[in-house]
Amino acid sequence: MLTRLRKTRQRLLGERRFSNYLLYALGEIVLVVVGILIAVAINNHYQDKATQAKARVYLTGLKTEFLDNQHKLAVLIDVNKSNLSYARDLIELINNRSQQIDETRFSRLLMKALNNDVAYNPNNSLLTEMINSGSLKDIESVQLRRLFTNWLANVDDIAKQEHDLSIQREHLIDFFRGPDTSFKTVLQNAGAMPANDETSNLSEKSNLHLLESRAFENNLLMFILTCEATDENHYQPLMDNLNTILGLIDEVLDH
């Protein structure tokens, strides 16, 4: 078609029919422009398909990554709640000092409340790679992009809260670093020290006087409040975000 127009245009030019020549020249230009637009549209179509395929690969990988993160967080929530539960039991011992208190029970509650630290360590390798490479923009869902961007900031915020919780935990452990208490007694009664250890034959030093200590009670209450804040204000909202992210990923992949 373009060749025919060009030949006609050349013939008209030779015949000095300039008005018709201009008309055919314009038609030739229009055909060229239309051809370019069609080529661009086809190219954009294939680019969009390639981008969508790339985004699906990323989302599949992110689903695996966030399912792992979900499991890790669920385990950590259980650990924190367990620590909190045993710490509350210790407060009950303090509040019921008129009752006979057993050294073994006190030691075991201490071990269970303070033995397990909490630190969330999610796998963000693929998400970080996408952000650094600019590939996050390939995901069409604006809500997903926003949640992914906020995720790293939320994880950093939780790390700060966990640091505060670790400090409160260390304050309680510090009570067993001085000469007035015996960490060995805690270990023996909690079953963390082998029964055949030679130190188990030595006289046991009681730690029950801590139940009379206002400083110990205050630090225990601070630990409890920080555990509660960690769960209610950080872990649970993050789990809600995780569930939302995984639900949106499934919607996109199933579409």
Predicted confidence pLDDT, tens digits, the chain (255 residues): 545 545 554 554 455 554 554 554 565 666 566 666 666 655 555 565 656 677 788 999 999 999 999 999 999 999 999 999 999 999 999 998 767 888 999 999 999 999 999 999 999 999 999 999 988 888 888 999 999 999 999 999 999 999 999 999 999 999 999 999 999 999 999 888 765 555 555 567 999 999 999 999 999 999 999 999 999 999 999 999 999 999 999 999 887
Query: Distance (Å, rounded) from C-alpha 250 to C-alpha 255?
Result: 8
Task: Give the sign of the dihedral formed by CA 54, CA 59, CA 62, CA 67.
Answer: negative
Residues 6+ away with beta carbon under 8 Å from 116: 79, 82, 83
CA distance 213 to 180: 12
Q: Which two tokens stand for residue 251?
A: 């919607």
Answering whether pTM is above 0.95, one says: no
Dist CA 78 CA 70 (whole Å): 13
State residue 21's pLDDT score.
45
Q: How far apart are CA 117 and CA 18, in angstroms?
A: 89
CB-neighbour burial class of residue 222 (10 A; exposed 0-12, middle 13-18, buried 19+)? middle
Assigned token pair, 181? 């208490």
- Measured CA to CA, the distance from residue 62 to residue 93 in angstroms comes to 46
Q: Give the SS3 label for residue 21.
A: helix
